[in-house]
Amino acid sequence: MDRAAVIVAIDGPSGTGKSSTSKAVAAQLGLSYLDTGAQYRAITWWMVSNGIDITDPSAIAAVAGKPEIVSGTDPENPTITVDGTDVGGPIRTQEVTSKVSAVSAVPEVRALITELQRSIAASAATGIVVEGRDIGTTVLPGADLKIFLTASPEARAARRSGELKGADVDSTREALLKRDAADSSRKTSPLAKADDAVEVDTSELTLQQVIECVVTLVKEKRDAK
């Protein structure tokens, strides 16, 4: 039986388990997967690599259309290339992490990346899980299911410092809160919960519990189509 294709938007701040949850849900349900944050990291990596002044929005806007970003949507092996170069590792460096908010706040960058994200979602034959910060509100406001993951700053810092081996929890918490403030206050597509999103607080849940919760929500939505 052909199942109805579902588009699932999963938003939320850093450290809530978005990526791990989204990949696992997509793999379990046979859906494509898109990490939109990786696309913003990719364009930031390109800007840094090409010596673009990250503090100058007009300089960023002027070259935003130059790099060709291609995202692989296999949840078991999500890939990302810029002009044919695999940047899966380089985009996770601290240098890129510290500059991605500034680059992604530029309206021209967001317009280009949003178009790319919409085209990927539209071409996903079996459906797709798209994770980010403005998917349910801006990128795919017509998504079949919108989920907003939250967690306490303490829980998020503990998780993120666990991922970044040896990182200090307090400084990680401060960095997360700083990123939240930047993402939530930017003029173009700020981090926000869509009015019709289901909120899931992951503070006290294991990753497996979060995955099971989201899988149930997606199945219910798919069966209702």
Q: Which long-range contacts (CB under 8 A, 24 or more apart) does 65-73 make?
A: 65/108, 65/112, 67/42, 67/43, 69/39, 69/42, 69/43, 69/113, 69/116, 71/34, 71/35, 71/38, 71/39, 71/116, 71/120, 73/32, 73/33, 73/34, 73/120, 73/124, 73/128
Q: Which residue has the tokens 């173009």?
A: 188
Q: Give how far Cα 167 sits from Cα of 89, 159, 163, 171, Å.
A: 18, 10, 8, 8
pLDDT tens, 183-200?
777 777 777 899 999 999
pLDDT tens, 56-89?
999 999 999 999 999 999 999 999 999 999 999 9
pTM exceeding the 0.75 threshold for the entire prediction: yes
